[in-house]
Structure 1
Amino acid sequence: MPFATEPAYTHGSAERTAVLLCNLGTPDAPTAPALRRYLGQFLSDPRVVEIPRALWLPLLHGVILRTRPAKSAAKYASIWTPEGSPLATWTDKQAKLLRGWLGESGCNVLVRAAMRYGQPSIASGLDALKAEGATRILILPLYPQYSGTTTASVFDAVYAWAGRQRRVPELRFVNHYHDEPLYIEALARRVEAHWKEHGPAEQLVMSFHGVPERTLHLGDPYHCESRKTARLLAERLGLRAGRYQVTFQSRFGKAKWLQPYTEPTLIQLAQGGTRRVDVVCPGFTSDCLETLEEIAQEARAAFLQAGGQEFHYIPCLNDSPAWIAALSQVARQHLAGWPVQPADGAACARAREHALAGGAPS
């Protein structure tokens, strides 16, 4: 396989440092054809589905991709906005804000957003950074808790891209930040802001994305890191053990996944006399299908139909200042020792203001 042609190089040009902010991904549109493309890529990843390819791929292409896209498209349509996919919108805003915040702290680095599945792809993001002169790139997944199904899959995509390059940049990877104090603080402030407006619920449910239980027994740290995040958040909020629940959502297939499951737990709470619950999703840094449709719509309906009276979904961190501050701290920790161009304070302030207004930093 031939290696990629390198971008034009001008001798004496300054080398740049960059951050590639990586999220899971999203279809291009809430339509069956777009979902077929997206799910085809997502469910073909052996990190996501650890079933022998000879068994899984015929089932995927012969059954699942013929039936599931239309159902998934309807779900996506219920959360789609005039700007497009919420996950894509929030991730793009986070990248723009991060560049401004890093600039204000003296790190004048390039920042781009990329998706593991769908567009803009990780490969295209890395190509763009190289074209802008980046010779050092920090890979920063938007997954606070490490999992082989998510974080490692991002790294796989980066390694695959690097294997096609003639000149490979210096690369660093952020594995996790599930216990980063500023991340916990950002989550706590999100919950406290909601409580200030609505008052606290009888139960705070912390719902994390699920993974098959076998991954825990095979050594994946995701379950333990999710539990630690939940414990630290509860401690920061001053919640005793009986005031909060840790659950796992988004099951797929018939295998046993991490428990307790979110929706059955909500039903049990309602049937047991709990009148109001608040649900927060600490593992998701951007609102997306799993939070806006699965939790805010489906889980809400299940709780109310089981006898609950009031259900509140607390939005993800999205573009909250406390979250961007936490993300900036994580990036700075991992950029340490790499040279960065001196930052123009006034220009960085303008970039942050422009990003806050919804534009791209200049």
Structure 2
Amino acid sequence: MTLSEPTKTRRANNPNPAGTAPPSGKAAKVGVMLVNLGTPDGTDFKPMWRYLREFLSDPRVIELNRLIWYPILYGPVLTFRPSKSGANYARIWNRERNESPLHTFTRSQSEKLAASLHDLPNVTVDWAMRYGNPSTGSVARKLVERGCDRILTFPLYPQYSATTTATANDQLFRALMKMRRSPAVRTVPPYYDEPVYIDALAASVTRHLASLDFEPERILASYHGIPKPYSDKGDPYRRHCLETTRLLREKLGWSEEKLMTTFQSRFGAQEWLQPYTDKTVEKLAHEGVKRIAVINPGFSSDCIETLDEIEREVRDEFLAAGGEKFSHIPCLNDSAEGMGVIEALARRELSGWV
């Protein structure tokens, strides 16, 4: 096939267009893409509506038949929920950067990982969101345009669920399907039981508790819930969460009574994984427990579910039920322990590529 002159000119001006191999003679690059759940672009109605529509339209998240779910979604849910969710986001919004804390932390994690991998000159690090911006597809294309013919995608979910890890991977492969020559891909597996992760959680918990002016009688490991039918159909998420708690309990030398597993953030009328976090804190308070702390081992970064739901809603519920002292233990975020986990797993999965 003979190239037309305009085509020849375009290729001359752009020797490495998206979806093609890097120029001959140049070392191939490996892209590392951190992927988190997502965040709205703002707290007003329109950006919240766009974000919730994308999130709640995902069949991995809502498994109801579209004919049943869409009238509910485009009716009451997207009519009323954007305003309510926007008000919640407004309370935790990073106003200096005009973005959500999840956006801030994920960017920082990417920047710090890039700095820690400075000894690997052919590795380039970026970050994306499954829902919202920067989108997974746009970042995948950018990495390919930079000459990456291999991508290590790192879903920042310690415990696997089809509602998180699987849909993040789905979105990446949807983007690759549009490329004439797509890169080779690896994905970091769930790390719910990795020693480096458990050690980081234990160090974070120990440091935080040492800073308090009280000793919690109970500590809740609160994970984002999923509908119980998803678990019944084989999603391993509940098992992964319980194993994380067990290993953390073992590392800290605590009893089952001291460190409990609960599940939060349920949505809709169907049953979700139990015990529920909000009901548990109320029950503990009614039983005479006065001092508790809550950690969120299923979140790699603090976000709306930890900074508003736990720090505000669950705190208020515990105190209203008779509790006296409450503390939220921050997620690993971009702390030294958190970055140690991300770097260790990234280096392991890059083995053989760099």
**Common fold, TM-score beyond 0.5?**
yes
State the Cα deviation string for residues 19-78 of structure 1 (Å, max 9, x = none).
Answer: 110000000011111100000000000000000111111211122111110011000001
Q: 2:34 aligns with which of 21, 31, 34?
A: 21
Q: Hey, which bits of structure 1, 4+ residues long, moved more than 6 A?
A: none
Task: Find out whether 1:328 has 2:337 as its counterpart.
Answer: no
**CA 1:8–1:326 in structure 2 vs 1: closer, same or farther (change >3 Å)?**
closer
Instruction: Please state whether the residue corresponding to 2:162 is helix, strand or coil.
Output: coil
Instruction: Give, in whole Å, the separation in 1 of the partners of 2:76 and 2:84.
Output: 13
- Runs of 5+ consecutive residues of structure 1 not aligned to the other structure: 341-362
Instruction: Give, in whole Å, the separation in 2 of the partners of 1:189 and 1:5.
Output: 43
Aligned residue for 1:187?
201
Say if 2:20 and 2:181, in contact at 8 Å, map to a contact too. Answer: no
The alpha-carbon deviation at position 7 of structure 1 amounts to 6.1
Say if 1:247 and 1:260, in contact at 8 Å, map to a contact too. Answer: yes
> How many residues are treated as equivalent by the alignment?
335
1:5-20 equivalences under 5 Å are: 6=19, 10-20=23-33
Say if 1:20 and 1:138, in contact at 8 Å, map to a contact too. Answer: yes
1:182-331 equivalences under 5 Å are: 182-198=196-212, 199-331=214-346
RMSD of aligned residue pairs (Cα, Å)? 1.4
1:102-141 equivalences under 5 Å are: 102-104=117-119, 106=120, 108-141=122-155
Q: TM-score, normalised by structure 2?
A: 0.92
Aligned residue for 2:61?
48
Say if 1:186 and 1:326, in contact at 8 Å, map to a contact too. Answer: yes
Instruction: Give, in whole Å, the separation in 1 of the partners of 2:189 and 2:57.
Output: 23
Instruction: Give, in whole Å, the separation in 1 of the partners of 2:192 and 2:136.
Output: 23
Aligned residue for 2:88?
75
State the Cα deviation string for residues 274-302 of structure 1 (Å, max 9, x = none).
Answer: 11001000000100000000000000000
State the Cα deviation string for residues 115-154 of structure 1 (Å, max 9, x = none).
Answer: 0000000001101101111011011100000000000001
Say if 1:101 and 1:325, in contact at 8 Å, map to a contact too. Answer: no
Aligned residue for 1:158?
172
Instruction: Give, in whole Å, the separation in 1 of the partners of 2:290 and 2:168.
Output: 41
**CA 1:9–1:173 in structure 2 vs 1: closer, same or farther (change >3 Å)?**
closer
| Fraction of identical pairs, as percent | 47
Select the structure of larger CA radius of gyration. 2
**CA 1:63–1:273 in structure 2 vs 1: closer, same or farther (change >3 Å)?**
same
Say if 1:234 and 1:240, in contact at 8 Å, map to a contact too. Answer: yes
- Runs of 5+ consecutive residues of structure 2 not aligned to the other structure: 1-16
Structure number with greater CO (CA < 8 Å, separation at least 6) is: 1
Please say which of residues 9-18 and 205-214 is displaced more in the overlay.
9-18
The alpha-carbon deviation at position 175 of structure 1 amounts to 2.7
The alpha-carbon deviation at position 200 of structure 1 amounts to 3.3
Instruction: Give, in whole Å, the separation in 1 of the partners of 2:161 and 2:205.
Output: 25
State the AA in 1 paired with 2:221.
M
The alpha-carbon deviation at position 322 of structure 1 amounts to 1.4
State the AA in 2 paired with 1:125.
V
Q: TM-score, normalised by structure 1?
A: 0.90
Aligned residue for 1:170?
184
Instruction: Please state whether the residue corresponding to 1:111 is helix, strand or coil.
Output: strand
